[in-house]
A and B are shown apart, each in its own frame.
Chain A
Amino acid sequence: MTALFDALMQNPAVALWIAPLIPLAAAASSALLGGRRNLREGITVTAGVISAALAVALWPHAEAGLRVTLWDWLPGLTLAFELEPLGLLFATVASVLWPITSVYAAGYLRGNDEQHQSRFFACFALAIAAAIGIAFSANLITLFICYELLTLSTWPLVTHKGNADARKGGRTYLLILIGTSVGLLLPAIIWTYVLSGTTAFRSGGILAGQAGNATLTVLYALFLFGIGKAALMPFHRWLPAAMVAPTPVSALLHAVAVVKAGVFTVMKVSIYTFGLDTIRSSGAGELMMWVAALTMLTTAAIALTQDNLKARLAYSTISQLAYITLGAALAVKTAVLEGALHIATHAVGKITLFFCAGAIYTAAHKTRVSELDGMGMRMPYTFAAFTLASMSIVGLPPLAGSWDKLLLMEGALDAGFPLMMGVLMLGSLLSLGYLLPIPIRAFFRPAPGAASDDRVITDFPDGDPPPRPVPMQEAPLACVVPLCITAVTCVAMFFLEDRLIAPLARVLEGP
């Protein structure tokens, strides 16, 4: 096994096209193995560990500019993979979190007795393959194909429950995502091809000097709105609609793979199709920057009003995605690095939050924030993890999310938009407002039943009630362990972050 792995590392180009094949194989085996649950999930987790190892092992080659042509499809249309730091970052995030989520999903699905588990694991692995394909795409066409594959393969997951709600959510999901991609993204790609004669991603962009400022502004808007997975307003509705999915899906796909595929595409288009200099000099980013800022604040405000835990997290995701889009649109090095970093830190933070939401549902069947009073002592690990991840997303040190918020503010100054600083501060305050009350309620408010007990106890004249231990009632181990791992990662990443973005920083500084 290790010998095979070493051989692969001698030929990183081979590893590049094997990377999406591993989840594909896992998808096929899940579909074929049917009801043999232990074997099926064993294979999925093993495949996950292998692809995670593969992604991590590719890091030393991040800047080697590896490229494999998969297929010369039509004249002008080539399917190809390429290794570059940003893509590798996204691929690593997706493939490292995949095995963790698989363990969690196994616990969740069994704990809740869900139907069609084989289909679930097959589609899940297929989605990961598509995400890795997006990460390694060497041109817009390859990216677009994987992007559509990701939409289609996640649709059965969103509609997993199969009831009327799930169908309705699934319809919104599919219509918005395919509608934007076919109606806006594809025309943008075609337009790019017409303007520059290529769809390849090149350092420094391919559109410099190919069109006037107005054209570039319209084209950039087409791209950013067309990438519906980045959930810019008004095309954000699919994300709350997708919350009808089982929680592991919400966790990996709608906090990590799908939405990050969207913002990753935004970053990729900004850096390698337009080029940061072109975006700045043409003013193309300015409009989209304000759209992103508006999305960030509006959806954060909506998140404040949501009582359903998953819906609140969904709106928080939209708001946080806007940080990344904003970073790309500011088009200065610090802001773009923030975007890249936020892809990783928000992924780890938000997956933890969703894991917690699923654990709460599995253990106590609660879905509303207002029902969580006093739950902290019943599920201490879950809520401790929730607290850490919330603080990371808000951006409090020493947690992962703190660096990127800082970088973004610096980026806003570098780009000459000091007003944006205010927007960002407001955004952080709002995120503080919609996230932290949840653990606070859970830990410091008495549980509804316990509250009346307390009153009875305090009525005792000598006033010395014996402390009553609350029985612990955590979700199954398969759910709790993954969320603890990701929560600890939130802390660990605070110290590792420069390594994640160093290769990208060098690329951005490059010629």
Chain B
Amino acid sequence: MIAHLPILQVALPLLAAPLCVLLRSARAAWWIYLLASVAAFGSALLLASSVATHGPLHYAVGNWAPPFGIAYVIDAANAFVLVLVSGIAVATAIYAPRSIAAEIDPQRVYLYYACLCLCLTGLLGIVATGDAFNVFVFLEISSLSSYALIALGKRRQALLAAFRYLVMGTLGGTFVLIGIGLAYAVTGTLNMADLAQRLPALYGNRTLTAAVGFVSVGLAIKAAVFPLHAWLPSAYAEAPSAAGVFLSATGTKVAIYAFLRFAFGIFGAGLVFGHLPMSALILIVGTAAMLAGAAIACYQDDLKRILAWSSVGQIGYIVVGLGLASQQGLSAAFLHISAHALIKGGLFATAGIVALRLGTTRIDALAGLARSAPAVFVALLLGGLGLIGVPLTAGFVSKWALVMALIEADQWAVIAAVLLSSLLALVYVGRIIEVAWFREPPLLADTAQPSTPAPMALAMWGLVGVSLVAGVYAAPLSRAATAAAAALLGTAP
């Protein structure tokens, strides 16, 4: 059974999507999505435990041995991401129905779940596959479905946001395809393991260098790495709340994972970080991201936009971690991938509840929230503390690991930037908290707010709670991240 799990957890959501469309019922579609995501989460957990005890898992799709068939390879690195993505998918499933009912035309709800199934398929596929071209295929599946998800947003601006994302995303996808094509041209294979074997002989080859460039820029667009982030803020802010939760927590993280896999599993660290000056470039870009994202977040006047810009900044931490290309740096990157996914997912879930209760997420409208919805306020506060990186939150654990890695690499300027952007995070989180805590609500708005639906509260507290537990009981997550980094670097036992 375990042997077939790598394909099963991708295939189930893929099969679920057309089923949603065929049944055309919102309720049935939700059940299908819920079952698919729970199944994916279950298999991810099984895979992770199997990888932890028995080592990497190889699977040949349709029993076609590579290089002719497509191979799926699960090791500690992608098991880590699989668990994260499918776990968030389950939380989204719990969160979605009540939130969607308020935001999406009932006629289209089944389409929403179909898109969500496809998006999950794409993300899990990118992570699980051992074939370079397959990465592109799944990248397109996830991208196309997420354009549709964003376009389902309530306001008309959602269409513009989806269109912007579509233009940028298509550009990114094309770049990735060109890069893969070039690598295929020089090696004649698409299997990751084979590529990794044949490429070192070709270091210095212009075509290969171009391939690295195309893939890196393409994935940087997908991961919204500054300065290629322009699509992200409006896309996340305009998407339906329940899509925002899923996309913000998983979309960019998976693109970063894909870059990690290309850099370490295909091109090889020797080429990307040895021959080419990528390390310096990535550190500069990441540092700029964490400062610019956090600084711009301070000037937004909408809760979701603050969160989205904060994501641009937080991605910078992950990018810096991977730019170090060291064991410590990578494990810090993995830690921050998970910490930020949990925190930001929880915060977007909170923002969705705010949207449901107040009908808007403008900062001004939050006035009096601490009194009218104390639970929501506390979740907002705890998530915000995580973004700042206050000790005993998951955000601190990953930042601590990052700073330790930076010290090891003697990158003192970047450390200063990390601390500065943490202070900026204090400012933008402080603004939210201050309005919600102090400002008196306008008298007219004193009408009864709808109460928080229990499933939405459950999903919100689930995400916030797991992030808190991960902050306090940090050792297991830290071990998993270390194992993931070791698997990528090929130093795993």
A residues lining the B interface (CB < 8 Å): 71-75, 77, 141, 144-145, 148, 152, 156, 159, 162, 167, 171, 174-175, 178-179, 182-183, 186-187, 190, 194
Q: Report yes or no: B438 in contact with A167, Cβ–Cβ below 8 A.
A: yes
Q: Please, what's the 1-or-0 string for B385-398, where 1 marks a CB less than 8 Å from any CB in chain A?
A: 10000111000010
Among B124-132, B214-222, B418-426, the one that faces the other chain is B418-426
For residue B471, give the distance in angstroms from its CB to the closest CB of chain A: 9
> Which residues on B sit within 8 Å (CB–CB) of A71?
472
Q: Can you offer 13 A-B residue contacts whose CB atoms are under 8 A? A: A74-B397, A77-B400, A145-B391, A145-B392, A159-B438, A167-B438, A174-B426, A174-B430, A175-B426, A182-B422, A183-B419, A187-B415, A190-B403
A190-B403 Cα distance, complex, nearest whole Å: 8
> Which residues on A sit within 8 Å (CB–CB) of B422?
182
Q: Please, what's the 1-or-0 string for B365-389, where 1 marks a CB less than 8 Å from any CB in chain A?
A: 0000000000000000000010000
Q: Report yes or no: B400 in contact with A148, Cβ–Cβ below 8 A.
A: no
For residue B320, give the distance in angstroms from its CB to the closest CB of chain A: 16
Q: Please, what's the 1-or-0 string for B184-227, where 1 marks a CB less than 8 Å from any CB in chain A?
A: 00000000000000000000000000000000000000000000
Q: Report yes or no: A187 in contact with B478, Cβ–Cβ below 8 A.
A: no
> Which residues on A sit within 8 Å (CB–CB) of B434?
167, 171
Q: Report yes or no: A74 in contact with B400, Cβ–Cβ below 8 A.
A: yes
Chain B interface extent, by class: 20 to 34
Q: Report yes or no: A187 in contact with B419, Cβ–Cβ below 8 A.
A: yes
Given contacts A72-B475, A175-B426, A187-B415, 16 further A-B contacts (CB under 8 A): A73-B472, A73-B474, A75-B478, A77-B400, A141-B391, A145-B392, A148-B391, A171-B434, A174-B426, A178-B423, A182-B419, A182-B423, A183-B420, A186-B419, A187-B419, A190-B407
A186-B474 Cα distance, complex, nearest whole Å: 19
For residue B377, give the distance in angstroms from its CB to the closest CB of chain A: 12
For residue A175, give the distance in angstroms from its CB to the closest CB of chain B: 8
For residue A400, give the distance in angstroms from its CB to the closest CB of chain B: 36
Q: Report yes or no: B478 in contact with A74, Cβ–Cβ below 8 A.
A: yes
For residue A495, give the distance in angstroms from its CB to the closest CB of chain B: 42
> Which residues on A sit within 8 Å (CB–CB) of B400?
74, 77
> Which residues on A sit within 8 Å (CB–CB) of B415?
187, 190
> Which residues on B sit within 8 Å (CB–CB) of A190?
403-404, 407, 415
For residue B431, give the distance in angstroms from its CB to the closest CB of chain A: 10
The secondary structure that dominates the A interface is: helix
Q: Report yes or no: A74 in contact with B475, Cβ–Cβ below 8 A.
A: yes
> Which residues on A sit within 8 Å (CB–CB) of B403?
190
For residue A52, give the distance in angstroms from its CB to the closest CB of chain B: 27
- With contact pairs A145-B391, A187-B419, A190-B407 given, residues A74 and B474 touching in the complex (Cβ less than 8 Å): yes
Q: Report yes or no: A148 in contact with B390, Cβ–Cβ below 8 A.
A: yes
The listed residue with most A CB atoms (<10 A of its CB), out of B385, B415, B420, B430, is B430
For residue B411, give the distance in angstroms from its CB to the closest CB of chain A: 13
For residue B34, give the distance in angstroms from its CB to the closest CB of chain A: 35
Residue of A nearest to B396 (CB): A145
A145-B471 Cα distance, complex, nearest whole Å: 13
Residue of B nearest to A179 (CB): B423
> Which residues on A sit within 8 Å (CB–CB) of B472?
71, 73
A162-B439 Cα distance, complex, nearest whole Å: 8
A299-B471 Cα distance, complex, nearest whole Å: 41
A73-B394 Cα distance, complex, nearest whole Å: 12
Residue of A nearest to B391 (CB): A145
- With contact pairs A72-B475, A182-B426, A183-B423 given, residues A144 and B391 touching in the complex (Cβ less than 8 Å): yes
> Which residues on A sit within 8 Å (CB–CB) of B401?
74
Interface residues of B in 423-443 (CB under 8 A from A): 423, 426, 430, 434, 437-438
Interface residues of B in 459-493 (CB under 8 A from A): 472, 474-475, 478
> Which residues on A sit within 8 Å (CB–CB) of B407?
190, 194
A321-B490 Cα distance, complex, nearest whole Å: 55
Q: Please, what's the 1-or-0 string for B405-417, where 1 marks a CB less than 8 Å from any CB in chain A?
A: 0010000000100
Q: 7 shortest A-B CB distances, which residue pairs?
A: A145-B391, A74-B474, A194-B407, A162-B438, A182-B422, A167-B438, A183-B419
> Which residues on B sit within 8 Å (CB–CB) of A148?
390-391
A187-B472 Cα distance, complex, nearest whole Å: 21
A162-B422 Cα distance, complex, nearest whole Å: 26
For residue B210, give the distance in angstroms from its CB to the closest CB of chain A: 40
A174-B438 Cα distance, complex, nearest whole Å: 15
Interface residues of B in 115-134 (CB under 8 A from A): none
> Which residues on B sit within 8 Å (CB–CB) of A174?
426, 430
For residue A79, give the distance in angstroms from its CB to the closest CB of chain B: 9
